[in-house]
Structure 1
Amino acid sequence: MNDDIEETIDWQGSEVDCASCAHCDMLASGKCRLSHACVNDRYARRIDRFFNWNPGLANQYVSHPHFEVRAIAAKHAAVFLLPPLLDDPEETVRWNAARRLPKKHILKLRDDPHREVRIRIVTLLDDSDLVPMLQDRDYYVRLSVARRLAPELLEWMLHDEEAEVRRVVAQRIPPDWLMRMAGDPEPRVRLEIVQRLPAEKLGEMRGDSDWRIRHEVASRIAPEEIGSLIADEDELVRETACARASGGERRRKEGPL
């Protein structure tokens, strides 16, 4: 079955010529197929299929001039050939080499010039090796670190400049750190905090400037601590507070069962 693309063009824009290929003898045995599995084709899917069929040939192609060939060969080549590819000019090649190498070889990619490589490197590293990436210049790299780092190490990220990073931190920090972020300037971060706070701590956020946070407080705080929320400027907060307060008053009047 052929790919949707019918043309058979190599990476330099010329027509693929099986007769001049070093692997032309493989055609008869079905180990390659024009427009389907071909190392000379410029389409990555066909190159990938060629190496899936012939992984033993990958070692010969880790220095190929076409980056797609190097990148796909890196998935199959012997591991001892991969370290030099960490300095390849193409990020796809660097990443495909990194994912197969021991950690000691890939630490330098924490400073890779391409953000996608740094983002992916985060998934391969442990806590102690992630610490240098806490100050990465790209917010999404830091966001990836915040999602992976052990909660007890997130203290360094409580005041990250990017609100979305702090929001993820707020979701994951230990419960006894929550109030340290209760004054965050971003409402989305404070909302994460208030949703995790136990009921006995909610009173400290009763006067928050964001109605969503006050509503969360009103919906869970002890009825006797509703206080000013009964007269809140937001209608939904007032309704929730009044319903909670009246329910608490009714229970007090009825007494224990």
Structure 2
Amino acid sequence: MALQSYSLLSLLLVFGSCFNSLAATQSDTASFNRKSFPQDFVFGVASSAYQYEGAAFEDGKGPSRISNGSNGDVALDSYHRYKAKQKGKIGITLQSNWFVPLSNSKEDLDAVSRALDFNLGWFMSPLTSGEYPSSMRSLVGERLPKFSKKQAGSIKGSFDFIGLNYYSANYVAHKSRSNDTHPSHETDSHVASFFERDGIPIGPKAGSFWLLVYPIGLYDLLVYIKKAYNDPVIYITENGVDETDNPTLPLEEALIDNQRIDYFHQHLSFVQKAIK
């Protein structure tokens, strides 16, 4: 499950619909199938902690507040069962959009780099180098904590894989320093973020206002991580799309989930391209 050597990238997709297998019969998938990916590329699905963790009353936890009064007392009890076989790996899951310059100016191109540093690099840089990104150190100054030598040594290389959550992309532009007396993550980066350029969205709108579909951004992000952070093992832990509910749609038509099929087809195509 890695971009390591371009052949080990794996995919763990959180599918938003349980009807994809039925709907797939409505779409031509002949040119895109399992054999399109290397043998060591792994597909998977994920479930929520409530469905499998168990141990509902340990470590300060209590009954889940579900509308029908049920809770996850037992579930699959992976909370204890994970100890049965210690051949697992430890990783961290990070979320990042891709960023596209609002213009071709050097200022906006530099803003892309800062946006990546202040979002993804904030965590990836310490994990791979033991230090925060130089842009953060320069712009945040003394407000950014410093790692001790011992801390840096324990953090650097402390993961077996990176879990990546990718959904969308934004246009970004340079934002001049403000006189704000309350600096924040947003003001420190000197980056302004936009959904549109010249009134045109960066991608088709999904059900959520913030989710604009931009499949090539996944390719760009995977290649960026490979080059910038020493080719780590990558699991895609979240990726998906929602749509606006249409209660008048007949069930038979709703089950033909072409929007989601097309969404995953496009994103998988760019994952395949990243591998190559």
Larger RCO: 1 or 2 (CA < 8 Å, sep 6+): 2
Q: TM-score range by the shorter chain?
A: under 0.3
Q: Normalized against structure 2, the TM-score is what?
A: 0.16
Normalised to the residue count of structure 1, the TM-score between the two structures is 0.17
The structure with the largest strand share of the pair is 2
Larger gyration radius, structure 1 or structure 2:
1
